Amino acid sequence: MSPSERPWTLALGGGVLLVAGLALGPLLRPAPAPTVTRAALPLPTPATGQPPVAAPEYPTTASVQPLISGRVNLNSASREQLEALPKVGPALAARIMAARPYRSLADLDRVKGIGPSTLSALTPLVSF
Write down the pLDDT at residue 124.
87
pTM above 0.85, yes or no: no
- Other C-beta atoms closer than 10 Å to the C-beta of 50 total 8
CA distance 92 to 120: 16
Q: Which domain holds residue 95?
A: 72-127
Residue 70's pLDDT is 76
The rounded distance, in Å, linking the Cα atoms of 93 and 96 is 5
Residue 88 forms part of a structural domain: yes
In a domain, 12, yes or no: no
Condensed to tens digits (0 to 9), the pLDDT of residues 80-120 reads: 889 888 899 999 999 999 999 999 999 999 999 999 999 99
Instruction: For 36-72, write each residue's pLDDT tens digit.
Output: 676 665 655 555 555 556 666 666 667 666 666 678 8
- pLDDT at 102 (0 to 100): 94
CA–CA dist 114, 128 (Å, integer): 16
Asked, for residue 45, whether it belongs to a domain, the answer is: no
How many domains would you assign to the chain?
1
CATH code, 106: 1.10.150.320
> Is 24 among the domain residues?
no
- pLDDT surpassing 60 at residue 17: no
Question: Among 95, 53, 49, 51, which residue's Cα sits nearest to residue 74?
Answer: 95
pLDDT attached to residue 34: 74
| Domain-located, residue 114 | yes
Q: Is residue 115 part of a domain?
A: yes
Q: Is residue 14 part of a domain?
A: no
Give a yes or no: residue 23 inside a domain. Answer: no
Which of the 8 DSSP states describes residue 123? G
pLDDT at 71: 86
